[in-house]
Amino acid sequence: MLSVENLRSRYGRIEVLHGVDIEVRSGEIITVVGANGAGKTTLLRCISGVQPISGGGIVFRGETLQTVPAHRRVALGLSQSPEGRQIFTNLSVEENLRLGAYLFADERVETDMAEAFALFPILREKRNLAAGGLSGGQQQMLAIARALMARPACLLLDEPSMGLAPILVAQILDVVKDLKKRGLTVLLVEQNAYAALQVADRGYVMETGRITMSGPAEQLIADERIRTAYLGV
Amino acid sequence: MTELLQFVLSGVTVGAVYALVALGFTIIYNASNVVNFAQGEFVMLGGMVTFFAWQAGLPLPLAAALAILAAAAVGVALNKLAVERARGAPVVSLIIITIGASIFLRGGAQLVFDKQLHRFPAISGDEPINIGGATILPQGLWVIAGAALVFALLYVFFTRTLTGKAILATANNRVAARLVGINTDHMMTLSFALSAAIGALAGVLMTPITLTSYDLGVAYALKGFAAAMLGGMGVPAGALAGGLLLGLIEALTAGYISSVYKDAVAFIVILAVLFAMPQGLFGRKSTDRV
Ligand SMILES: Nc1ncnc2c1ncn2[C@@H]1O[C@H](COP(=O)(O)OP(=O)(O)OP(=O)(O)O)[C@@H](O)[C@H]1O
Ligand SMILES: [Mg+2]
């Protein structure tokens, strides 16, 4: 469904992705784990089109993405819940969700919003409040719900567990598993490797802009090097 | 008492125009973080294009519509040819670009039109209306009504339509806006067109009272900028309050002290307000503009 080939990207003159290859097949949950600064966020920004790439390519459902502007990639079925939530703080919770479905103006917007509220009931309670006033965990739920409003075929999640209490991390990962059951493809980026590998089908390990290891999630969880480097055991 | 009422009426009339110009500043600032000093030229274009189109034989309403469209087109061109290309440049460079654009537009107007003062007829004649002993020109009421209508329509646009919310979203968080599928370049273009049209409308409404000429844009840009700063740059309600307040201060100073001091007093009040409240009267704290 999504393949990233030999992808390179830089900030100014400093290259931070040095040829990354990733393959995401339809219906899979794929995770990219790696330490702080490895380039995971840069990778997702490249896929969404909000970060220029300096080499390699991205193909999504048979379409080459390099020349497709960010807003059109959403229409193709790629949507992202970005790192740091990036919600519209000045707008209400409901407006954030409505804007998630910016490309649509049909009745399904209403049912999708009801579904989002069913997934995260706290958002229904706060629907008329400014999103900037939500707690960190609620903002994270809003960011995910907003991304789902775009009716993605492939959902990109950047650090959904960042800064959250363990109970909320578990809740969000449950939602991810739930989404997979509904046939959604998910590319999940996490520093919290243990949590991510528990829900993922396959994983990639990223170190300073390169993929250093990949394989089925249970295999990675059991790998000695990963256990010492990322799982703290 | 009558005297005071008289000063208030003229203050509100001028203030309504300042509010419209300040609103233009605010819309573009929100969409692009650019303080567009060419905003006054849209006011000039509104008056000048209307006059020359009317003189060429177009009925006045059509001439005014043409002027507003022309100004909107110039606004779009300013965005596409200058501001959009300089994306990522420091804010100071962008401001200098808009100052350059304003000089260019003024020079262009001098060439295409002329250096004379011009006027076209007021909408409902020039017979002053008596209000409690004070008088106001019917055109003054049109100015106030026009400004009120623009603010009301924009309020509806920004709170009730998806496109309006998309502009707000773009202002709030540009990357996130792109991630939900908003074409932020379009939103910027739309903002420039909207601002320019609003400025031009102010020019159309004001010309029968103050006359128009190729070089009146600078004064409106400064007043509109001052009003926007006073109310809080980037906040539409602040543009309204700042514009009216500035108009009132000027009219009261001119009336009770001397018109020589009206700009100075307005300037001092603005400095005092900004000293006490750096964000302006309605400004948001800069921390929640992520
Ligand atoms: N805006 C930027 N300008 C310059 N360098 C940047 C910028 N953003 C990230 N970098 C650098 O690019 C590299 C990769 O950063 P990136 O944010 O992609 O890593 P990450 O794996 O997502 O890290 P984290 O787990 O902390 O989110 C880092 O070395 C970082 O310092
Ligand atoms: Mg990151």
- The pLDDT, as a whole number, for residue A232 is 64
Structure tokens at B138: 């019917």
Asked if residue B290 belongs to a domain, the reply is: no
Which structural domain range is residue B102 located in?
Answer: 2-276
- The pLDDT, as a whole number, for residue B290 is 34
Percent of chain A with pLDDT over 90: 77
Distance CA A192, CA A169 (A): 10
A40 lines ligand 1 (CB under 6 A): yes
Asked if residue B35 belongs to a domain, the reply is: yes
Q: Sign of the CA dihedral B279, B283, B285, B290?
A: negative
Could you tell me the mean pLDDT of each successive run of 10 residues in chain B, 290 residues long? 90 96 94 90 97 96 97 96 86 90 95 94 91 91 96 94 94 94 94 96 95 93 92 90 94 90 84 85 57
pTM (global) more than 0.80? yes
* Structural element, H or E, at residue A129: none
- Rounded to the nearest 10 degrees, the angle between the axes of helix B236-256 and helix B2-32 is 150
Asked if residue B22 belongs to a domain, the reply is: yes
Which residue is closest in CA terms to ligand 1's atom 25? A36
Distance CA B162, CA A90 (A): 15
Distance from CA of A147 to the nearest CA of B (A): 7
Report CA(A144)–ligand 1 centroid distance (Å).
21
pLDDT, one tens digit per residue, over A101-123 is 999 999 999 999 999 999 999 99
Indicate which atom in ligand 1 lies nearest the CA of residue A159.
Answer: 27
Task: DSSP for B165-195, please give it.
Answer: HHHHHHHH-HHHHHHTT--HHHHHHHHHHHH
| Closest of A194, A202, A186 to residue A78, by C-alpha | A186
In chain B, the number of structural domains is 1
| Closest of A127, A134, A183, A131 to residue A155, by C-alpha | A183
Is the Cβ–Cβ distance between A87 and A139 less than 8 Å? yes
Secondary structure class of A127 (helix, strand, coil): coil
Asked if residue B194 belongs to a domain, the reply is: yes
Indicate which atom in ligand 1 lies nearest the CA of residue A206.
Answer: 21
Which amino acid type is present at position B56? A
Integer CA distances (angstroms), B283 to A124, B60, B241, B272, B279, in order: 29, 39, 11, 15, 5
Is the Cβ–Cβ distance between B228 and B25 less than 8 Å? yes
Radius of gyration of chain B (CA): 19
Of B172, B175, B184, the CB nearest to A91: B172
Q: For ligand 1, pick from A14, A41, A206 the residue to mutate: most ligand atoms within 8 Å of CB.
A: A41
B173 to A87: CB separation less than 8 angstroms, yes or no: yes
Ligand nearest to the CA of A206: 1
Asked if residue B288 belongs to a domain, the reply is: no
Distance CA B182, CA B180 (A): 6
Instruction: Name the burial class of residue A122, with classes exposed (0-12), middle (13-18) and buried (19+) by CB atoms within 10 angstroms of its CB.
Output: middle
Asked if residue B287 belongs to a domain, the reply is: no
Of B169, B181, B183, the CB nearest to A88: B169
- A150 to chain B, any CB pair closer than 8 A? The answer is yes
The CATH number of whichever domain residue B244 belongs to comes to 1.10.3470
- The pLDDT, as a whole number, for residue B286 is 47
- The pLDDT, as a whole number, for residue A111 is 95
Is the Cβ–Cβ distance between A157 and A43 less than 8 Å? no
Asked if residue B283 belongs to a domain, the reply is: no
How many whole angstroms from its chain centre is CA A118? 20
- pLDDT tens digits in sequence order for chain A, 233 residues long: 999 999 999 999 999 999 999 999 999 999 999 988 999 999 999 999 999 999 999 999 999 999 999 999 999 999 999 999 999 999 999 999 999 999 999 999 999 999 999 999 999 999 999 999 999 989 999 999 999 999 999 999 999 988 788 888 888 888 899 898 988 999 999 888 888 999 999 999 999 999 999 999 999 988 888 887 776 65
Structure tokens at A62: 């048979």
Could you tell me the domains of chain A?
2-86+151-231 (3.40.50.300)
Instruction: Kindly report each contact of residues B128-132 with a partner whose C-beta sits within 8 Å and lies 24 or more positions away, as own/partner.
Output: B131/B5, B131/B9, B132/B2, B132/B5
Asked if residue B116 belongs to a domain, the reply is: yes
- Segment 148-207 of chain B within 8 Å of chain A by CB: 162, 165-166, 168-169, 172-173, 175-184
